[in-house]
A and B are shown apart, each in its own frame.
Chain A
Amino acid sequence: DGGITQSPKYLFRKEGQNVTLSCEQNLNHDAMYWYRQDPGQGLRLIYYSQIVNDFQKGDIAEGYSVSREKKESFPLTVTSAQKNPTAFYLCASSIDRGIGEQFFGPGTRLTVL
């Protein structure tokens, strides 16, 4: 079955620690995205990647970093510089940026204690 997986579903970390969220897709999509969802707000774009070894900042990239070493994988690191990291994080992919629908992973809920 083709799709997007994110792990873990729930993640707890102490303040000041970096944490990496996993995102894998087997849809052969070129474009991948990371979004953050907070209560009462729309999804906001953190980073996107249109192709392997390339990625661009989204609207709220500060305190986050990504890599795209393989087409299938787009991990997100939440660094200690992110002032308010507790949120629901969603990964998505599409055939190409701006083309077609985006397919979403199940999300990771990060809680920083």
Chain B
Amino acid sequence: KNEVEQSPQNLTAQEGEFITINCSYSVGISALHWLQQHPGGGIVSLFMLSSGKKKHGRLIATINIQEKHSSLHITASHPRDSAVYICAVCNNNNDMRFGAGTRLTVKP
């Protein structure tokens, strides 16, 4: 079983819809990261969380340490949000463990 599980694997939405991507992990962590991978392959960091909630523009990330679960929300989705979103955790050995990613397609 993977240490980091994401759902759904694929997600298609209409422009303007509210989107939620989920991440569950099974190990102790020091931090959780949400990453965005563009079609060309480049990866950018969206959030680093160790507790609570963070917001950046239309993106919101939450984490529940007790339940070992995090969510990434996108409000008022737009076609330019189409990308692969990756959840990653830094475990207690300082190793990063990555989920397989959620491929999001937002249609105009």
Question: A and B bound?
Answer: yes
Interface residues of B in 38-85 (CB under 8 A from A): 40-45, 48
B2 touches A42 (CB 8 A): yes
Closest B residue to A44 by CB, please name it.
B98
In the complex with contacts A40-B100, A41-B100, A45-B96, A102-B45 CB distance below 8 A: yes
In the complex with contacts A41-B100, A42-B101, A45-B96, A101-B33 CB distance below 8 A: yes
Assembled-state Cα–Cα distance A110/B40 (Å): 14
The residue in A100, A102, A105 that gathers the most chain B C-beta atoms within 10 A of its C-beta is: A102
Classify the secondary structure of A's interface with B.
loop
Assembled-state Cα–Cα distance A103/B42 (Å): 10
B41 touches A101 (CB 8 A): no
Closest A residue to B30 by CB, please name it.
A98
Classify the secondary structure of B's interface with A.
strand
A34 CB–B CB distance under 8 Å: no
A42 touches B94 (CB 8 A): no
Which residues of B lie under 8 Å from residue A92 when comparing CB positions? Answer: 43
In the complex with contacts A42-B100, A98-B30, A107-B95 CB distance below 8 A: no
A43 touches B33 (CB 8 A): no
A104 CB–B CB distance under 8 Å: yes
Which residues of A lie under 8 Å from residue B21 when comparing CB positions? Answer: none
Which residues of B lie under 8 Å from residue A43 when comparing CB positions? Answer: 86, 88, 96, 98
A107 touches B48 (CB 8 A): no
B44 touches A42 (CB 8 A): no
Which residues of B lie under 8 Å from residue A105 when comparing CB positions? Answer: 42
Closest B residue to A88 by CB, please name it.
B41
Closest B residue to A39 by CB, please name it.
B100
Which residues of B lie under 8 Å from residue A100 when comparing CB positions? Answer: 48
A75 CB–B CB distance under 8 Å: no
Which residues of B lie under 8 Å from residue A33 when comparing CB positions? Answer: 96
A42 touches B97 (CB 8 A): yes
In the complex with contacts A88-B41, A106-B41, A107-B41, A42-B48 CB distance below 8 A: no
In the complex with contacts A42-B2, A42-B101, A97-B42 CB distance below 8 A: no
